[in-house]
Amino acid sequence: MPILVVPSATAARLERLAAREDVPSDVREALRSQMVRVPLGGHAPADPSLAHAEGRVPHTLLVQVSQWARTHDDAYTLASLLRGAQLYHPPRAVYERPKELDASLEAIRRAHEESEYARMVSPAPTQPSAAPYRLSGGAAPHAVRAEHEAWRETRTQLSALVNILLSIGAVATAVWWGAGSRDSLWKAAVAFGAALLVGTAEVVLYARYWRATERQRRTRRARAARRPPRTPTPAACPPCPPPPHDAPRG
């Protein structure tokens, strides 16, 4: 059921209508019980004598009054009663926090203040605690160097594997197309044999290369381990000036 807010003049007319004796009792009772004066808001004039409260009335009550006025009073038509009326929007309910939430927030705030006060009045530590873990300055360059060497070796192995696969594929393709129009089974067997032979040769050559490279790397590491550490040589002193000659005696 929609509720309307009618102007103050219309509300006054409805109040006068509720006081008339020729109006049916049910209409008068509905006007007295269902029409409510709206409290003055911020848009009302500052002078209370000039301010007139609006009325809040159901739409069905205005229809009931207009139906009675058809045969008794033409001044209360539905069009005249709806002139200047607006739809009533009830205000939003104000959220109220439960008391338990306020109590818990107050306890948290009090505990935080107490901890802050205890931290402020407690004496500062005289000696900071040592860090549990420290990285040595000499271990970091060695780890970085080892990581670079491992990555270089892995990259070399991947490159060798790709080269072997490309060589096998190239030889097999060349043998297949070089066989011409011979039997497909024969071409496949010859291409597979040639690819297997080339792959075996590639693996043997790369294995020998890796072994030689590993021996060279071990030799360099052994020489570096046996090499004595470098000690800074003291800077040479500048030549001392010659002693002054004795002055000739007269």
pLDDT value of residue 45? 47
Give the predicted TM-score (pTM) of the model. 0.34
pLDDT value of residue 107? 92
Q: Give the integer Cα–Cα distance in Å for 196 and 200.
A: 6
Pull the structure tokens for residue 143: 């780890």
What does each C-alpha distance from 68 to 61, 75, 84, 230 come to in angstroms? 11, 11, 21, 119
pLDDT value of residue 113? 92
pLDDT value of residue 50? 41
Could you report the per-residue pLDDT of 86-98, keeping only the tens digit for each? 888 877 877 788 8
pLDDT value of residue 232? 54
Low-confidence ranges of the chain (pLDDT < 70): 38-53, 124-142, 228-250
For 44-76, letters b (16+ CB in 10 Å) and e give beeeeeeebebbbbbbebbebbbebbeeeeeeb
pLDDT value of residue 109? 92
Q: Which residues pair with 55 in a beta bridge?
A: 6, 37
pLDDT value of residue 67? 85
